[in-house]
Amino acid sequence: MSIETAHFRHVLGHVPTGVAVITAVASTGPAGFVVGTLTSVSLRPPLVSFCADVGSRAWSAMRDGTHFGVNVLAADQSGLCGRFARPPAERFDGVGWSPCAHGLPRLDGALAWLCCARFSVQPAGDHDLVLALVEELEVLRQADPLVFHRGSYSRPAMLSRAT
């Protein structure tokens, strides 16, 4: 059975995802791209994963690096998604950031930050599946996360507290 790309995207678009900017330092300077695929994989060891488009110029510049930064975006940072869709050389223009101990760009205003070591990269169709070992992490501020759902950015609505 053949599944059309548009139908696949439409159906999976009903699954809300958090939004993060993956950053690194490439030979040309800071590099980064937006993902909606960040997920926790393991507690022992602490692993996260994300998927990177194999056609992405930013990912091509970062792919062989040893460390990645994960900047979890807050609901008031949706504008960064458009900025990080620009050509790689323009993505950090006007974006405040500071380097972590590994020199990775830590974006000002991010909700949370993870410093990760490359664990493995596996081809997965038109993306690479990246497993990263979390070496450092912290919540930087209390705010709603940015959520991508059905083609739009939003914030979650609290229905009730999980017990």
pLDDT band at 161 (very low <50, low <70, confident <90, very high): confident
In a domain, residue 2? The reply is no
Provide the domain count of the chain: 1
Residues 6+ apart with CB under 8 A from 74: 109, 110, 111, 141, 143, 144, 145, 146
Cα–Cα distance for residue pair 55/136, rounded to 1 Å: 29
* 63: number of Cβ within 10 Å: 16
Residue range of the domain that includes 21:
17-68+82-138
> For 103-113, what is each residue's pLDDT tens digit?
999 999 999 99
In a domain, residue 45? The reply is yes
Domain CATH code at residue 28: 2.30.110.10
In a domain, residue 113? The reply is yes
In a domain, residue 1? The reply is no
> For 3-57, what is each residue's pLDDT tens digit?
999 999 999 999 999 999 999 999 989 999 999 999 999 999 999 999 999 999 9
Rg (CA), the chain: 16
**Any idea which residue has 């139908």 for tokens?**
7
Q: What percent of the chain has a predicted confidence (pLDDT) above 90?
A: 93
The whole-model pTM stands at 0.94
